[in-house]
Amino acid sequence: MKTNMKQKKFSRLLFSYLILGFMTVIIIYPLLWTVGASFNPGNSLVSTSIFPENPTLDHYKELFAGKDSLQYGKWYLNSLKISVFTMIGTILSVSFTAYAFSRFRFKGRKNALTLFLLLQMIPQFSALIALFVLAQILGMMNNHWLLILLYIGGQIPMNTYLMKGYMDSIPMDLDESAKIDGASNTRIFWQIIMPLSRPMIAVVAMNGFTGPLGDFVLSSTILRTPESYTLPIGLYNLVNQVMGASYTTFAAGAILISIPVAVIFLMLQKHFVSGLTAGGTKG
């Protein structure tokens, strides 16, 4: 009997490791190939191995060489600007909205939550024509701030549901105790709810930062001049015959995009694993 139990346990463990190994290969292999391609001489991705025999840094140098057609540094700064302000705006708007839905009961609350749920189901590209016309009417074509507002608006429905669900798990007793001591709703929000919601704030921050950084469809609809391009638009032009179809330079540019994402993740990772109890006892 014990032998059968051990065999079943070993089989389940082996199956789990096989699935984990398979998924790891699927995720890591394209990344390694892209890294190798960024060091590959020439403009072709064709190579007999993942890592080239004669690696070169020429493609990374080319990104910042200052060519008029390749303004990588400018695109990088544009993407960081849009992503950072979108992240900040998303955290604030989602936190306020989720707090209102979680702690207050008002007329139209259920209908508003249902509307948020429906908005999550609508693909972004289905509203591109309306957004394009809106940008023209407002005279804000090629404007980063309009793009930031659109990104923030797109992040609100889904992230509000996530944040509200987390705030619902925070005991109402904390609010009531604070009110007995004379705390206002504003003080409760900033000094109790927000500190205890740090794990979910970290998730919302990560979503708000990475969303604009990898978006091509919406940004290419609003932004029109090379000086205002974000990284996805600029790198797309590298492989679309606009700038000579330099696939290896594209690979180098794509690798550098991951640096700010990795930095943000390392800054927030401790909050991903911190629980509600830990947040409450830290004061």
User: Smallest Cα–Cα separation from 265: which of 206, 213, 208, 207?
Assistant: 206
12 plus 78 within the same structural domain: no
127 plus 255 within the same structural domain: yes
Q: Which residue, chain included where needed, has tokens 């302000």?
A: 85
pLDDT given at position 6:
72
42 plus 110 within the same structural domain: no
Q: Total domain count for the chain?
A: 2
pLDDT tens, the chain, 283 aa long: 556 777 777 788 888 888 988 888 888 888 888 888 888 877 666 665 677 777 788 888 888 876 656 788 899 999 999 999 999 999 999 999 999 988 888 888 888 888 877 777 777 777 788 888 888 898 888 899 999 999 998 888 888 888 888 888 888 888 888 888 888 888 999 988 998 888 889 889 988 999 898 888 899 889 988 889 999 998 888 777 555 557 788 888 888 888 898 888 888 877 766 533 333 333 3
Question: N- to C-terminal Cα distance for the chain?
Answer: 51
44 plus 165 within the same structural domain: no
Q: Are 200 and 94 in contact (CB under 8 A)?
A: no
Query: Tokens for 42?
Result: 């020439």
Those residues with Cβ within 8 angstroms of residue 222's Cβ, 6 or more apart along the chain or in another chain = 131, 132, 135, 141, 142, 143, 146, 147, 150
What's the whole-model pTM score? 0.82
- Cα(35)–Cα(58) distance, integer angstroms: 14
111 plus 221 within the same structural domain: yes
Question: Looking at 38, 60, 82, which one is the last position of a domain?
Answer: 60
112 plus 223 within the same structural domain: yes
9 plus 84 within the same structural domain: no
243 plus 158 within the same structural domain: yes
146 plus 253 within the same structural domain: yes
90 plus 36 within the same structural domain: no
125 plus 38 within the same structural domain: no
Quote the distance between the C-alpha of residue 202 and its chain's center.
11
- Predicted confidence (pLDDT) per residue in 263-275, tens digit: 888 888 777 665 3
41 plus 178 within the same structural domain: no
Question: Looking at 43, 60, 77, which one is the last position of a domain?
Answer: 60
Q: Are 91 and 204 in contact (CB under 8 A)?
A: yes
CATH classification of the domain holding 200: 1.10.3720.10
pLDDT given at position 48:
58
Range of the domain at 45: 2-60
